[in-house]
């Protein structure tokens, strides 16, 4: 298997620069996700690695081999790169059976029949399609069709698999199932996986590490799912990973005062170990809706309920803090048990369980 390394890669189309100095290092055998909003350059990155396109500058290396280096006029062709690719719209051939679809890459390489048969059998087994070899794609579910595409990529024994949003056309249930299977595939084959998506849930679920890219093609943070979720490098990353509250903060003698509050935020009252004091220059407190817990006693923050939405197991509250609306998520059963059901217009006390301090808010609300 192999690592993948992009160094100072630039890609420009006419006058449009997708990125100007991209560094990306995927380790041997890891499942790495490039996560970013639509149009940030994820597919272009995969096309550069696969060799369908050449960088304007910089180098691409797979394992020990430099495969693209425009400064040296070096461009290894795609078929020499030992890469398997599954694109979102890379459809399987509708008039060929599962077996024929998966066998095709080996047929064109003139692999001898006994070896071909064994490798096709193994690839089909690896994606859990054994027994469906004679079916046509039209007789398969969307998830099964994507597995045919995966098997067809695996059968050539690639060192690296590039997956471009392969699950985004599937319904929520299938998506969940498939993400376990992709993870399992990586474990059993040891193949290096580079997965690109705009879906932060998938990225958190399948990645050993991930990189978060912004709209301008800059990588804002690289780390484990826990790093990215718990220790976001900046407001963009925080907002991109889920619903985000950015509450403006005034610092008074080093203490944070939130809108509509008559005293500074008491940081010793919540789950104190998760709350740090705001550093100088803090402008915003960022938190998730689930970090704000409605309470009857020992509240740190007071607001007024503007909207209440019952979502089944959870209640979504919009709470006004001196003109700033924050989103609060309440567990329905717990709210009922504790008699903490609020109505629109009620005053509501909140406890803060986690906070990130930032000197600016996210450019535009992120994924929320
Ligand atoms: N062949 C091309 N010619 C011109 N612009 C392109 C081409 N391919 C991609 N782009 C532009 O590069 C940017 C990144 O595209 P892409 O990598 O497809 O984004 P995504 O992150 O959604 O996969 C977009 O602004 C897109 O319009
Ligand atoms: Mg894309």
Give the CATH number for residue 339: 2.40.50.100
Q: Are residues 270 and 189 in the same domain?
A: no
CA of 36, nearest ligand number: 1
Whether residue 146 has its Cβ less than 6 Å from ligand 1: no
Ligand 1, atom 1, residue with closest C-alpha: 13
Q: Are residues 225 and 248 in the same domain?
A: no
Q: How far from 238 is each of 56, 267, 273, CA to CA, in Å?
A: 31, 21, 20
Q: Counting atoms of ligand 1 from 1, which one is nearest the CA of 213? A: 21
Whether residue 93 has its Cβ less than 6 Å from ligand 1: no
CA of 38, nearest ligand number: 1
pLDDT at 366: 43
Q: How far from 276 is each of 254, 285, 356, CA to CA, in Å?
A: 12, 11, 8
Q: What is the DSSP string of 3-53?
A: -EEEEEEEEEETTEEEEEEEEEEEPTT-EEEEE--TTSSHHHHHHHHHTSS
Q: Are residues 179 and 261 in the same domain?
A: no
Whether residue 42 has its Cβ less than 6 Å from ligand 1: yes
Instruction: Quote the CA–CA distance of 57 and 69 in Å, as a whole number.
Output: 7
Q: Which of 12, 43, 85, 216 to mutate to test the pocket of ligand 1 (most atoms within 8 A of CB)?
A: 43
Last residue of a domain, which of 184, 207, 233?
A: 233
Q: Counting atoms of ligand 1 from 1, which one is nearest the CA of 38? A: 22
Q: Are residues 197 and 279 in the same domain?
A: no
Ligand 1, atom 9, residue with closest C-alpha: 44
Q: Are residues 198 and 310 in the same domain?
A: no
DSSP category for residue 330: E
Count of structural domains, the chain: 2
Q: Are residues 159 and 293 in the same domain?
A: no
Q: Are residues 204 and 299 in the same domain?
A: no
Alpha helix (H) ranges present in 109-220?
A: 113-126, 142-154, 172-189, 200-206
Instruction: Give residue 16 CA to ligand 1 midpoint distance, Å.
Output: 9
Last residue of a domain, which of 197, 216, 233?
A: 233
Range of 146's domain?
A: 4-233
pLDDT at 50: 96
3-state secondary structure of 11: strand
CA of 37, nearest ligand number: 1
pLDDT at 334: 93
Q: Within a domain: residue 131?
A: yes
Q: Are residues 304 and 226 in the same domain?
A: no
pLDDT at 90: 60
Tens digit of pLDDT per residue, the chain (368 long)? 799 999 999 999 999 999 999 999 999 999 999 999 999 999 999 999 999 999 999 999 999 999 999 999 999 999 999 999 998 766 789 999 999 999 999 999 899 999 999 999 999 998 889 999 999 999 998 888 988 999 999 999 999 999 998 887 778 887 888 888 888 888 888 999 999 999 999 999 999 999 999 999 999 999 999 999 999 999 999 999 999 999 999 999 999 999 999 999 988 755 545 578 899 999 999 999 999 999 988 899 999 999 999 999 999 999 999 999 999 999 999 999 999 999 999 999 999 999 999 999 987 644 43
Q: What b-and-e string marks burial along 288-298, b requiring 16 or more CB atoms within 10 Å of the CB?
A: bbbbbbbbeee
Whether residue 13 has its Cβ less than 6 Å from ligand 1: yes
pLDDT at 47: 96
Q: Within a domain: residue 82?
A: yes
Contact 26, 186 (CB under 8 A): no
Q: Are residues 292 and 224 in the same domain?
A: no
Q: Counting atoms of ligand 1 from 1, which one is nearest the CA of 217? A: 14
Q: Which residues contact 80 (CB under 8 A, 6 or more apart)?
A: 51, 67
Last residue of a domain, which of 233, 260, 288?
A: 233
Q: Are residues 184 and 320 in the same domain?
A: no
Instruction: Quote the CA–CA distance of 124 and 108 in Å, as a whole number.
Output: 18
Give the CATH number for residue 184: 3.40.50.300
Q: Which of 14, 41, 168, 198 to mutate to test the pocket of ligand 1 (most atoms within 8 A of CB)?
A: 41
């Amino acid at each position: 298997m192999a690592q993948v390394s992009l160094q100072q890669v630039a890609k420009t189309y006419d006058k449009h620069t997708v990125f100007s100095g991209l560094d990306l290092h995927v380790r041997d055998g890891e499942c790495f996700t490039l996560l970013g909003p639509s149009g940030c350059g994820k597919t272009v990155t995969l096309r550069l690695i696969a060799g369908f396109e050449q960088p304007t500058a910089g180098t691409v290396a797979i394992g020990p081999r430099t495969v693209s280096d425009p400064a040296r006029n070096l461009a290894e062709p795609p078929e020499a790169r030992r890469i398997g690719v599954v694109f979102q719209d890379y459809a399987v051939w509708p008039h060929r059976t599962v077996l024929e679809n998966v066998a095709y890459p080996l047929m064109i390489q003139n692999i001898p029949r006994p070896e071909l048969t064994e490798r096709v059998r193994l690839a089909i087994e690896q994606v859990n399609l054994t027994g469906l070899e004679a079916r046509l794609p039209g007789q398969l579910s969307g998830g099964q069709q994507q597995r045919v595409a995966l098997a067809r990529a695996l059968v050539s024994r690639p060192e690296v698999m590039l997956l471009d949003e392969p699950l985004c056309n599937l319904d929520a249930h299938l998506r969940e199932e498939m993400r376990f299977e992709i993870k399992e595939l990586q474990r059993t084959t040891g193949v290096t996986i580079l997965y690109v998506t705009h879906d932060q849930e998938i990225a958190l679920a399948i990645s050993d590490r991930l990189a978060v890219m912004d709209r301008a093609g800059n990588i804002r943070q690289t780390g484990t799912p826990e790093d990215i979720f718990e220790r976001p490098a900046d407001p963009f990353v925080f907002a991109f990973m889920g619903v985000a509250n950015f509450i403006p903060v005034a610092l008074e003698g080093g203490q944070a005062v939130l809108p509509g509050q008559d005293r500074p935020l008491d940081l010793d009252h919540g789950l104190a170990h998760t709350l740090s004091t705001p550093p100088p220059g803090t402008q915003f407190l960022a938190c998730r809706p689930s970090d704000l817990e409605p309470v009857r006693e020992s509240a740190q923050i007071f607001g007024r309920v503007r909207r209440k939405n019952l979502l089944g197991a959870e209640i979504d509250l919009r709470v006004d803090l001196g003109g700033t609306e924050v989103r609060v998520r309440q567990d329905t059963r717990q709210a009922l048990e504790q008699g903490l059901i609020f109505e629109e217009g009620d005053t509501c006390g909140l406890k803060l369980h986690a906070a990130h301090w930032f000197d600016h808010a996210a450019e535009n609300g992120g994924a929320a």
